[in-house]
Amino acid sequence: MQTYLVLIYISAYFNLIVNCFTLYIVFKHTPPNMKNVAACVLNIILWNFAGNIMWALIPFYPLFPMNCYQLIGPLAVFFKHYYLAKYCYIILVLFFLNVNVGVQLSFQFRWIQIAAPDRIKNLGKKWAYAYSAGIHFLPCALFSYLSHYMFLTPEEYPDFDPVYKGVPIYCLTPDQHKLTVLVSIIVAFVILSAMVIIALIILSYTSLNAKRQILSANTLKLQKTYLRNLIILASISIVLGMVGGTVAWFCYYSHMVNLKLLCMGAILVVLNHGTVLDVATLVVFRPYRKATQRVVRYFFYVCGVKNVLLVSTVTRKPRNLNNSGGHAARI
């Protein structure tokens, strides 16, 4: 468990640094023609950032072959009550669920921006925010309702190990029929999300081709670039979302031997989703890539100036003290 916790803290530390740096770049260096794209990217990054912070403070540890999970970390002592531990898990899943929803929304708005730019402009930002809030709320409400019936108290769980009595813990029902429903819904949601994204990509490219005679070459190229970059970010989320589906599969087959290590590995991969997504954001969008290069160059320039001043001070002192030792001082 200690190694697992150390790996979580290392991942969380790097994720915090990369997330903060990415947020700084996006907030300070987004050009005016990228405001809409940046809003969609920020929606994805902020949901992931919130989930990673919560995960770093209250990670959970699988207790296979029991389908139970122990809360560990610095804040775990405040969640010894079963209901608090259960809701921590639900909120954590909702954060990462909203990352998936955010990816879908980015393609929806990109398609609308291409197909009907005047209409979305006339509706205004408040309607866009209201629509986004509604789309985020619906899957969250559905998951919260369905998952409510999937939990058991430690006292209700059959063959519960008394060693874990009194520790922050929550248990999923061992009822295979209920777990089948939950896992099937999760898998169906991932597949449906991928299908919706693919459909929106096709519609976006179709709309661009239909407006080829209307749009200028630069505008057409810019829209295709934005769309391509969003496809890259979505691919990362979908691939790592499959790893999250693997975690759900482990929960379903928790009675099988030697799955704990594989489950922890899958959890660590999902935890680093934000870091990979942030780096990809800084690389694929040209304004962010250029801004990152400038910041990094400035950082090394400042460090380089300090080193030069330090060397200059050290090498000049002997020359002032003794002119005959000037050659040695330069060496």
Residue 220: pLDDT over 90: no
60 backbone dihedrals φ, ψ, rounded to 5° = -120, 155
| d(C-alpha 312, C-alpha 300), whole Å | 18
> 3-class SS at 170?
strand
Indicate if 181 and 257 belong to the same structural domain: yes
End-to-end CA distance of the chain: 53
Query: Pick from 78, 76, 17, 89: which is nearest to 49 by CA?
Result: 17
| pLDDT, greater one: 291 or 212 | 291
**Phi-psi category of residue 258: left, alpha or beta, with phi > 0 → left and psi -120 to 50 → alpha:** left
- List the 60-62 sheet strands across, edge first: 60-62, 68-71, 169-172, 151-152
Q: Are residues 11 and 134 in the same domain?
A: yes
pLDDT reported for residue 286: 92
Per-residue pLDDT at 313: 40
The predicted pLDDT at position 315 comes to 40
Residue 195 and residue 84 share a domain: yes
CB–CB of 86/170 below 8 Å?
yes
Same domain membership, residue 215 and residue 301: no
Residues 294 and 275 in one domain: no
Return the SS3 of 70.
Answer: strand
Q: What's residue 45's pLDDT?
A: 92
Q: pLDDT tens digit string along 228-274?
A: 998 998 888 777 767 666 666 666 665 565 677 777 888 888 888 88
pLDDT score, position 279: 93
- State percent of the chain over pLDDT 70: 86
Domain end position, chosen among 284, 299, 320 = 284
- Which tokens hold the place of 260? 């704990």
> Do residues 331 and 201 both lie within one domain?
no
Tokens 């998951």 sit at which residue? 143
Residue 61 β-bridge partners: 70
Q: Which of 46-55, 63-72, 166-175, 217-226 has the highest mean pLDDT?
A: 46-55
Are residues 166 and 301 both part of a single domain?
no
16-27: average pLDDT: 93
Per the structure, how many domains does the chain have? Answer: 2
Helix (H), strand (E) at residue 138: helix 125-147
Structure tokens at 45: 């990054």
The answer to whether the peptide bond before residue 65 is cis (omega within 30 degrees of 0) is yes
**What's the CATH number where 195 sits?**
1.20.1070.10
Q: Provide the 3-class DSSP secondary structure of residue 153.
A: coil
pLDDT at residue 245, as a whole number: 63
pLDDT for residue 316: 43
Evaluate if residue 26 carries a pLDDT over 90. yes
Per-residue pLDDT reduced to its tens digit, 76-135: 888 878 788 888 888 988 998 898 899 989 999 989 888 888 777 777 788 888 999 999
> Quick one: 298 and 264 in the same domain?
no
pLDDT band of residue 278 (cuts 50, 70, 90) is very high
| 295 and 232 together in one domain | no
Identity of the highest mean pLDDT range in 202-206, 219-223, 252-256? 202-206
Using CB atoms within 10 Å of the CB of residue 253, give its burial: 0 to 12 exposed, 13 to 18 middle, 19+ buried.
Answer: middle
CA distances from 195 to 127, 189, 227 (A): 25, 10, 16
Confidence (pLDDT) at 217? 83
Per-residue pLDDT tens over the stretch 148-199: 778 888 888 888 888 888 888 888 888 878 777 777 777 787 788 888 888 9
Name the strand (E) or helix (H) holding 152.
strand 151-152
Mean predicted confidence (pLDDT) in 50-57: 88
pLDDT of residue 248: 61
Asked if 280 and 233 touch (Cβ cutoff 8 Å), the reply is yes
Instruction: Confirm if 61 and 1 have CB atoms less than 8 A apart.
Output: yes
Question: Are 46 and 115 found together in one domain?
Answer: yes
Looking at the DSSP assignment, which residues form a beta bridge with residue 62? 69
138 and 225 inside one domain:
yes
Q: What is the pLDDT of residue 321?
A: 43
Domain that residue 329 falls in: 289-331
196 and 57 within one domain: yes
**283-293 pLDDT tens trace:** 999 999 999 99
